[in-house]
Amino acid sequence: MDPELLIRSAKSGIDWGRNELAAYNISTESQDAPTFFEVDPLPEPHVPADMLDKLEAEDTTNLDAFLTISAMDLAMNATPLEESAVDDFAVRLFDILGYTNRNVLLRTRKDIELVICGVSMLAKTDVCLLKNRSEIILLVQEDKRQMEERGDAEAQLVAEAIAAFQSNNKKRVLAGLDPVQHLLIPGIIMPRYFRRFALRRDWPMPSCMGIFPRCLLSFTSTFLPFLAHIVD
């Protein structure tokens, strides 16, 4: 079916699926990790040795490694319909990898306004990084297919990226700054995949009004080797 003829309606981020990606002219390009990260070979993760050498939390001697591996064990054996364990693991992982500091904080279950088809909806992140307590610079979405029938993690992450782009620009305008024209927003689908969204200011406008965008929005995707290593 011609994507331009697909029905576009106001939906919250959690209800986005393959239909929304097609209806808003959004596609995915898969890349190998070195191409995606523009680094070859990929650097070794700066984590305690126990994180890579020990399979059981009880065998570790480093407290950070113990807490992170314990959080990972809980995430891998989460109670059905419970998603907080995966969010908790993502928070521990970002902390131990050094993503957080005085200027970058973590939020879980943050609601972001998503203006779609002229209606204000919400996109809820599982985890996100905030720069200077307000600017969204990274998104994490858990793949919940094992817990619920609705929803598609990739489509949900796209909705969150669009909402983050809108939100960041709205805050800039309120602060008296010009909105950015282009923004690169990294995103992770837990536990294994990394996404990169290159958003342009002229693209979200058609989606805000429920119009088929003539400009294709393409985002890149890769398998995240470090997360795969520690989860497997």
pLDDT score of 230: 37
Pairing of strands 182-190, 135-142: parallel
Query: How many Å apart are CA 74 and CA 54, to the nearest integer?
Result: 16
Contacts of 139 (CB under 8 A, 6+ apart): 125, 127, 128, 157, 160, 161, 164, 185, 186, 187, 188
Token code pair at residue 177: 């700054």
Token code pair at residue 186: 């990294």
Question: For 42-54, what is each residue's pLDDT tens digit?
Answer: 788 788 888 888 8
Below-50 pLDDT ranges, the chain: 226-232
Q: What's the whole-model pTM score?
A: 0.85
Q: Which one-letter DSSP state was computed for residue 168? A: H
